[in-house]
Amino acid sequence: MIAKAPCRSRGFWDFVACAGIIFLCSCSVGVSPGTSNVESLSGPPASASEPDDVNPHGSMGKPSDAFPNILLQTQDGKSVRFYDDLVKDKTVLVNFIYTSCQQSCSPTTANLARVHKLLGNRAGRDFIFLSISLDPAVDRPKILKEYAGRFGQFSGWHFLTGNESEIEQLRRAMGLYDPDPARDADKTQHAGIVIVGDDRTNRWVSLPALMDHRQIAQTVLRIARNRETLDVKGKT
């Protein structure tokens, strides 16, 4: 289902809603992750369609203006600023994980690995993947690098750690929190969501991270205002 976000009181989704940006809230997918019999996509799936006349900046500025420019470390130990180094003028896929997660994190990372593969050499060049730890006290760069290595070697995919309170601030600014404080405090209940956005075109969507990887990839292209299609016949 596609819906316009209602105006919220504050934060990232306040910008998203009032700028007229579309987000997706469908949890059902047509093909389960890992399916090998993949058809060629000649166009975007209906559930990922959106108007082409989205106001680039709306009346409230850019949604990314709401992002705290926190200091993070990559899995290689490099210090980066979230907005200045990772988001500014880029198309990004952002999700939150932690390495000891026993539920959705590994399937989510595996699904995003399929998205990365599907986007080919444009992943890491035109499209940047950001997976941010919800357990930064444990998930130091070495741990994140070991975790990332389980899924392969991918250019332009940053597994990130940092200050816990600052990451919490970022998570909330991106709208990925539960209004029930007790549920929100439980990492095992964190949202299985990937946010796809382009800081240049000001287009942002929120997707179920386990939705069909082909749909996520097509949405990335749409968000970047790229009208190319993906020939994914035979790819997984």
pLDDT per residue over 177-213, tens digit each? 888 888 878 877 777 899 999 999 888 999 999 999 9
**Secondary structure (3-state) at 128:** strand
pLDDT value at position 157? Answer: 97
Parse the chain into domains and list their residue ranges.
2-223
pLDDT value at position 201? Answer: 86
**Torsion angle, CA of 174/192/19/228, rounded to 10 degrees?**
120
Query: Is pLDDT above 70 for 8?
Result: no
pLDDT value at position 235? Answer: 53
Pairwise CA distance, residues 18 & 29, whole Å: 28
Question: Phi and psi (nearest 5°) for 133?
Answer: -75, 135
Q: Are 62 and 199 spatial neighbours (Cβ–Cβ below 8 Å)?
A: yes
Span 2-223: which CATH code? Answer: 3.40.30.10
Percent of the chain past pLDDT 90, that is, above it, reads: 54
pLDDT per residue over 117-159, tens digit each? 999 999 989 999 999 999 999 999 999 999 999 999 999 999 9
pLDDT value at position 191? Answer: 73
Query: Is pLDDT above 80 for 84?
Result: yes
